[in-house]
Amino acid sequence: MAKKKIEQNERIVERNITSRCDGFSFRVRLTVQGVRINQTFDTLQDARAYRDRVRSDVATDPTHKLVLSAKQKRTHSAHKTFGDLLDRYLLEVTPTKRGSYVESTKIGKLKRFDIARLPIQLVGRDVLQQFVEQARRQEGWSDNNVRKYLMLVSGVFQTAVKSWGMTIDNPVRMIQVPSNGKARDRRLLPGEFEYLIGELKKARNPYAGPFFEFAIQTAARRGEILKLKRQDVDLEIATALLRGTKNGEDRVIPLSKRAIEICRSVMNIQNDLLFPLTAVQLRQAFDEAKKRGRQRYLKHCSTENLEANSDFLESLRFHDLRREGASLLFEKNLNVMEVATITGHKTLAMLKTYTALRPAELALKLG
């Protein structure tokens, strides 16, 4: 074992004690449970008493052990950056979640910010606020996006404290986290379905079009449909079993006549999955269809001398199809319990978030 470095003007007096300045002071050096102790005394007797007391306390005093252990953890934390925490979280925690792909993408984005290169102990209130300002300025993040990333940061710190035993504070508790804001109410505009389905039928992946229409017919989540297997679809009784849904429970949903037709159209391919495509392939196909559909729409407006809708296909997201599907179920006169059974929402508040009924449709019911 290598000897500890001794300064030139020191000499070893006895174990863990050195004489400094020709005996005018004495230094005690020792490492206890990973914590380095370095104290200076005027006399050898005081240095010796301190050294022996520390050794005795470690052996007999549980409180002293806890203090040293906490010191050791703080010392260990001081050498780690927030990026190190993100890496460990990505390796140990993220894979256990259903939304692991989305979270891993968010962690990748977080690591590109300056905050990831800072030591953990420096990530406090001011640093988080600078991070939020940088994200808004450079990435154009909305309040909702900022909130999601701050919740991820909070989760990383909470895991570091509760699961990894690190002695650090959660800085997210020190700032004002933006609220969810106004609930999104985007549905398909008149004509958007026709433009999208037309372009998706031309996509490189032949399953993109049927997947898009099936999502609207069932109001199911993208991830639920991606996991749907042929064996989970019963065309005789017109149902499909969605496994491992977001709330942790399997869910059986009824299939409309059009949904059954879509299932039959893709079941002739020998594959275990009903729609054999990945989330990445689906997103690429959807984005490309939106882009091409928008171009066709603008060309049509120009040719017919019509005023183009600036929002047509621009702000549409794939997840909006779930709101479209849920709203259509209500417009087909299904009641709240029937729609909740299909969508899987546990509360009326959440179901309301994914429903946007059109006033014109309601007016027809009023007569």
Give the tens place of pLDDT for each residue, 292-339.
999 999 999 999 999 999 999 999 999 999 999 999 999 888 888 988
- What is the predicted pLDDT for the residue at 228? 93
- What is the predicted pLDDT for the residue at 76? 52
User: Hunting for tokens 């929002």 — which residue is that?
Assistant: 311
Which residues make beta-bridge pairs with 25? 20
- What is the predicted pLDDT for the residue at 350? 75
Q: Please give the Cα distance from 83 to 71 (Å, whole number).
A: 22
Is residue 43 very low, low, confident or very high in pLDDT (cuts 50, 70, 90)? confident
What are the structure tokens assigned to 103, written together? 């979270």
CA dihedral (38, 39, 40, 46) positive or negative = negative
What are the structure tokens assigned to 3, written together? 């000897």
- What is the predicted pLDDT for the residue at 26? 85
pTM beyond 0.85:
no
Q: Please give the Cα distance from 188 to 213 (Å, whole number).
A: 12
Q: Please give the Cα distance from 218 to 233 (Å, whole number).
A: 13
Q: Please give the Cα distance from 163 to 143 (Å, whole number).
A: 29
In the 3-class helix/strand/coil scheme, how is 284-301 assigned residue by residue? HHHHHHHHHHHHHHHHHH
Say how many C-beta atoms besides its own lie within 10 A of residue 174's C-beta: 12
Question: Nearest CA to 259 among 283, 242, 277?
Answer: 242
| Percent of the chain residues past pLDDT 70, beyond the cut | 85
- What is the predicted pLDDT for the residue at 2? 39
Q: Which residues contact 21 (CB under 8 A, 6 or more apart)?
A: 9
- What is the predicted pLDDT for the residue at 274? 93
pLDDT digits (tens, 9 = 90+) for 198-246: 999 998 889 999 999 999 999 999 999 999 999 999 999 999 999 888 7
What are the structure tokens assigned to 85, written together? 């925490």
- What is the predicted pLDDT for the residue at 83? 92
Report DSSP state, residue 227: T
Question: Mean pLDDT over all residues of the chain?
Answer: 85
Average pLDDT over residues 83-89: 93
pLDDT digits (tens, 9 = 90+) for 176-194: 988 876 778 889 999 999 9
